[in-house]
Amino acid sequence: MAQLWGGRFNEKTDDSAYAFNASIGFDSRMYKEDITGSVAHAEMLKKQGIIDSESADLIIGGLKKIREDLDNGSLKITAEYEDIHSFVESVLTERIGDAGKKLHTGRSRNDQVALDMKLYVRNRIKLTDRALYELQKSLYDIMSENLDTYMPGFTHLQKAQPVTLAHHMGAYFEMFLRDRDRLADIYKRMNTCPLGSGALAGTTYGLDRQYTADLLLFEGGPTRNSMDSVSDRDYLIEFLSALSTIMMHLSRFSEEVIIWNSNEYGFIEIDDRYSTGSSIMPQKKNPDIAELVRGKTGRVYGALMSILTTMKGIPLAYDKDMQEDKETSFDAFDTVLDCLTQFNGMLKTMTFNKAVMEKSARKGFTNATDAADYLVKKGVPFRDAHSIVGRLVLYGISNEKALDELTLEEFRAESDIFDEDIYEAISLKTCVEKRLTYGAPGHEGMQRILEYYKSYLDKDAAGK
């Protein structure tokens, strides 16, 4: 057992209790953050004259060497250490001697783990945001190529009105845009440094917490209350909530991909690289990536519920319950990043069956509202127009005809207001193009939206 305490104990911790208490099995993934924080702490201790320069330089050099050795695999993290903090400090002391024992001056594991977790979450926010950006780029490309690809829009999973594939994909672009806004907001709010808060009540050493915060790029400076600093996991809850929303959006998208991929719809063809087959049915080509993304959504929701439940009954300040913030959260971080990556790969290689989509829009009476509007513009009250077109739809269903396949005589059987111009009025092109309000699927309006999206993506590419 390698631990950072024990002086006041007469007996060794029971082996099973030690294993139950230890976190090295999962917090070892934060070794980079732990070492980064320790280097900054040592730099600050040196600046303040709390430890001598020679010891500080030995500590900093030793920490950087540990990081290098862990990165290249020549040093392994093993299970005899209680946590990543005891591993780093123990290895450091073994390598540089008593100088290593000075590293923890003015610091507690409570503010140390709070720092490590913030640094780790901060980095994961950046990685998640980048993956969302890549997905948005793929959506932008699909939209640019499909401004005039007609398809049915749905409500209640029933064909409703004609839209374009660009317009449909734009709805998801907007969802992911909001997701990225949420991540940026969380990043800004969480970007304060807890190091220097000690166990809960600060320290008597003359620390320069602002200097440490600056070294670690915490733009919000040091945290303002030491008790809150070591017991705060709001930022993690917010991040998991944002990740849950991302997964909800991905799951909705996956559901549509699964439906569109079915034989009954045939809107898309998923590339072989993102499909699987059946062990018994030779004809099968299954949308497993989309199904897994949909399924893994509950896993991420579970992580959010776990941390909310853990935190709800914890009195100030730090309690060991808070060690439970890591395993499910780490799993959620990995899951979301994997899902974004795989979904994007599937989306980029997907083939859209444009003719099938357009035929589906025509056969689904999605132009019925436009037929009613045609009558209204000729003086028929809307409620009467609605009833007339409803009877025409019923006739079309009975005779297996789309509205634009009806003869003029068949139209006039319901209303003599109809004339030859009804066919242009209910063509898919007209139905879409005359929807010119901001945010609607018309070609010109969508071009303006695409210009906005391009500017938005270009700012990211430029690092703004």
pLDDT of residue 23: 82
**pTM surpassing 0.95?**
no
Active site residue 74: no
pLDDT in tens, 348-370: 999 999 999 999 998 889 999 99
Q: Go through the domains of the chain in sequence order and give each one's CATH number.
A: 15-105 (1.10.275.10), 117-147+163-200+229-358 (1.20.200.10), 366-457 (1.10.40.30)
Catalytic residue among 156, 279, 398, 455: 156
Catalytic residue among 90, 138, 167, 278: 278
- Give the per-residue SS3 of the chain: CECCCCCCCCCCCCHHHHHHHCCHHHHHHHHHHHHHHHHHHHHHHHHCCCCCHHHHHHHHHHHHHHHHHHHHCCCCCCCCECCHHHHHHHHHHHHHHHHHHHCCCCCCHHHHHHHHHHHHHHHHHHHHHHHHHHHHHHHHHHHHHCCCCEEEEEECCEEEEEEEHHHHHHHHHHHHHHHHHHHHHHHHHHCCECCCCCCCCCCCCCCCHHHHHHHCCCCCCECCCHHHHHHCCHHHHHHHHHHHHHHHHHHHHHHHHHHHHCCCCCCEECCHHHCECCCCCCCCCECHHHHHHHHHHHHHHHHHHHHHHHHCCCCCCCCHHHHHHCHHHHHHHHHHHHHHHHHHHHHHCCEECHHHHHHHHHHCCCCHHHHHHHHHHCCCCHHHHHHHHHHHHHHHHHHCCCHHHCCHHHHHCCCCCCCCCHHHHCCHHHHHHCCCCCCCCCHHHHHHHHHHHHHHHHHHHCCC
Active site residue 455: no
How confident is the chain (464 residues) per 10-residue block, as mean pLDDT?
56 71 86 98 98 98 98 94 94 97 96 97 98 98 97 94 96 98 98 97 97 98 97 97 98 97 95 84 86 97 97 92 93 98 97 96 91 95 96 95 94 95 94 90 94 94 65
pLDDT of residue 1: 47
